[in-house]
Chain A
Amino acid sequence: MIKVDSLTHDYGHGRGVFDVSFEVSGGETLGFLGPNGAGKSTTMRHLMGFSKPQKGSLSISGLDCTGKSSEIMKTVGYLPGEVALPEGLSGRQFIKMMQDMRGIKNEKRTSELLERFELDPSGSVKRMSIGEKRKLAVVTAFMSDPDILLLDEPTSGLDPLMQEVFIDFIREEKGRGKTILLSSHIFAEVEALCDRIAIIKEGRLVSTVDAADIRHGLHNIMTVGFENQKDFNEFGKAGLDFKLRDRKTLKCSVIVDDEDINKFISAVKKFRLKSFDEHSVTLEEYFMHFYKKEKSFGGVSYA
Chain B
Amino acid sequence: MLSLPLLKQSIKSNSVMWGSMTGVMTLLCVQFSMLDMTRSMLFTIFYGMMTTILPGIYVLVTSNKLLASQVDRGSMAYVLATPTKRTTVTFTQAFYLVNSLIAMFGILTLAHLACNAAKPITLGELGFMGLQGDLTSKMIMQVNLSALMVCIALAAVCFMFSGIFSSTKYSIGLSGTFIGVSILANMLAMFGNLGVEGLDKFKYLTVCTFYDYNSVLTGGNEWITKMIFPAAIALVAFGLGELVFKKKDLPL
Contacts and interface: CB of A to CB of B under 8 A. Distances in A.
B80 A84 contact: no
Contacts of B3: 101
B78 A48 contact: no
A243 B228 CA distance: 80
B80 A80 contact: no
Contact of A50 (B12, B75, B80): B80
B84 interface: yes
Contacts of A51: 249-251
Nearest to A83: B74
B78 A80 contact: yes
A101 B249 contact: no
B195 interface: no
A101 B5 contact: yes
A74 interface: yes
A200 B165 CA distance: 30
B35 to A, nearest CB: 36
A69 interface: yes
A70 B6 CA distance: 15
Contacts of A52: 249
Contacts of B251: 50-51
A68 B75 CA distance: 21
Contacts of B80: 48-50, 69, 73
B73 A73 contact: no
A97 B74 contact: no
Nearest to A76: B81
A116 interface: no
Contacts of B52: none
Size bin of chain B's contact surface: 20 to 34
Interface string A86-123: 11110001000110111100000000000000000000
A100 to B, nearest CB: 4
Interface string B45-77: 000000000000000000001000010011101
Given A93-B12, A100-B5, A78 B249 contact: no
B5 A84 contact: no
Contacts of A74: 83
Interface in A42-93: 45, 48-52, 69-71, 73-74, 76-78, 80, 82, 84-89, 93
B37 interface: no
Size bin of chain A's contact surface: 20 to 34
Nearest to B5: A100
A227 to B, nearest CB: 62
Given A52-B249, A98-B82, A140-B78, A86 B13 contact: yes
Contacts of A70: 83-86, 88
Contact of A86 (B4, B70, B83, B84): B70
Nearest to A45: B252
A98 B84 CA distance: 11
Contacts of B201: none
Contacts of B205: none
Given A45-B252, A50-B250, A102-B82, A89 B77 contact: no
A85 B78 contact: yes
A86 B77 contact: no
A71 B80 CA distance: 11
B8 interface: yes
Nearest to B73: A84
19 contacts: A48-B80, A50-B80, A50-B250, A51-B249, A51-B251, A70-B85, A70-B86, A73-B81, A73-B84, A77-B81, A78-B77, A84-B74, A85-B75, A86-B79, A87-B73, A97-B8, A100-B4, A102-B82, A102-B83
Given A77-B81, A78-B77, A101-B6, 13 more contacts: A51-B249, A70-B83, A70-B86, A73-B80, A73-B84, A74-B83, A88-B12, A89-B9, A89-B12, A100-B5, A101-B84, A102-B82, A137-B78
The 3 closest A-B pairs by CB, nearest first: A84-B74, A100-B5, A88-B13
